């Protein structure tokens, strides 16, 4: 059972921001900021690590268009586009989705902090990533 598949199949109601053959975008029920939107493929994939390239690209393309539309029409100053991938990264619904979170001020109700980790050997990290 997947709650987003149920939304896509209209078994659960949602506020649809955008819909086409492959992608659905809905207002997030929690509205971290006004206009917080979720962009998801209609085909079920757990997350971006598992999705096929075409599906991921279609979602990103819609996310870009909607981010422009949301920022402009809601008079936001910018937005965060987020994808939480796996539980460790905060994924709570196991159906690929991208958050579009409009930003209105530094004090709005989202906090994203990049704190430095202990020093890394960048050459070693690079070698490991390249495999």
Q: Which residues are tagged catalytic?
A: 97
Q: Does 30 bind ligand 5GP (CB under 6 A)?
A: yes
Based on the shown chain and the rule CB under 6 A, indicate whether residue 108 belongs to the binding site for ligand 5GP. no
* Separation of alpha carbons 126 and 131, rounded Å: 8
Nearer to ligand 5GP, 58 or 95 (CB): 95
Indicate the residue among 2 and 57 with the shorter CB distance to Zn ion. 2
Q: In what order do the strands lie in the sheet with 78-82?
A: 16-19, 23-27, 37-41, 98-103, 78-82
Bridge-based pairing state of the strands 23-27 and 37-41? antiparallel
Give, as one character, the DSSP assignment of residue 68: H
Is 41 within 8 Å of 23 (Cβ atoms)? yes
The answer to the question of residue 44 lying near Zn ion (CB under 5 A) is yes
Mask of contacts with ligand 5GP, 65-94, x by CB under 6 A? Answer: -------------------x-----xxxx-
Q: Which residues bind ligand 5GP (CB under 6 A)?
A: 3, 12, 14, 26-30, 38, 84, 90-93
């Amino acid at each position: 059972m997947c709650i987003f598949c149920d939304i896509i199949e209209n078994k659960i109601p949602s506020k649809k921001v955008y819909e086409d053959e492959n992608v659905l975008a809905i207002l997030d029920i929690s509205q971290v900021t006004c206009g917080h939107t979720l962009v998801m493929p209609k085909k079920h994939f757990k997350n971006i690590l598992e999705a096929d390239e075409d599906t991921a690209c279609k979602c990103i393309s819609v996310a870009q268009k909607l981010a422009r539309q949301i920022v402009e029409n809601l008079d936001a100053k910018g937005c965060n586009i987020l994808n939480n991938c796996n539980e460790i990264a905060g994924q709570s619904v196991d159906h690929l989705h991208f958050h579009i979170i409009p930003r209105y001020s530094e004090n709005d109700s989202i906090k994203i902090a990049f704190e430095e980790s202990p020093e890394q050997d960048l050459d070693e990290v690079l070698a490991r990533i390249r495999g």
